[in-house]
């Protein structure tokens, strides 16, 4: 069985979508491995699947369009963090896991809740995604 938990050991090239509270502190994160990030970014605008395969082989997500598209997916997903019972969160940025700031690192290390999933997008493959909340 494939390990679904993402961390700097299991997925050193992962990327993190950061969601901030109105005060600016990180309140939630979505962490994706490179394959998941490429899949979501490419599927959003129907980019060729070959681009995703290229990213999977290289292990590097450096295509600006894929990164921008992943940010758009993350922005849409922000509505899932906002309920009547939770602080308002807004999408802030996508950043490499190895480049997160100290506040994001602290949330990664001690979240209030976490859900790790495998996601597949038909025609594109999939990857590992983790949802983390403060």
**DSSP secondary structure of 23-46:** TS-EEEEEEE-HHHHHHHHHHHTT
The answer to whether residue 43 is domain-embedded is yes
The answer to whether residue 111 is domain-embedded is yes
* Tens digit of each residue's pLDDT (9 = 90 or more) over 58-92: 999 999 999 999 999 999 999 999 999 889 999 99
Q: How much is the pLDDT for 1?
A: 39
What's the domain count of the chain?
Answer: 1
Using CB atoms within 10 A of its CB, is residue 45 exposed (0-12), middle (13-18) or buried (19+)?
Answer: exposed
The answer to whether residue 2 is domain-embedded is no
Q: Is the pLDDT of residue 116 over 80?
A: yes
Q: Where in the sequence is the domain holding 73, given as residue range(s)? A: 15-133
Answering whether pTM is above 0.85, one says: yes
The answer to whether residue 1 is domain-embedded is no
């Amino acid at each position: 069985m494939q390990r679904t938990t993402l961390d700097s050991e299991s997925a050193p090239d992962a990327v993190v979508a950061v969601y901030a509270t109105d005060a600016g502190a990180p309140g939630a994160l979505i962490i994706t491995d490179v394959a998941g990030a490429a899949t979501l970014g490419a599927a959003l605008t129907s980019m060729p699947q070959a681009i995703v395969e290229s990213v999977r082989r290289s292990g590097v997500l450096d295509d600006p369009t894929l990164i921008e598209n992943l940010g758009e997916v993350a922005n849409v997903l922000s509505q899932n963090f906002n309920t009547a019972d939770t602080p308002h969160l807004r999408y802030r940025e996508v950043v490499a896991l190895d480049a997160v700031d100290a506040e994001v690192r602290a949330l990664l290390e001690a979240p209030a809740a976490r859900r790790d999933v495998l996601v597949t997008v038909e025609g594109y493959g999939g990857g590992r995604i983790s949802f983390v909340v403060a």
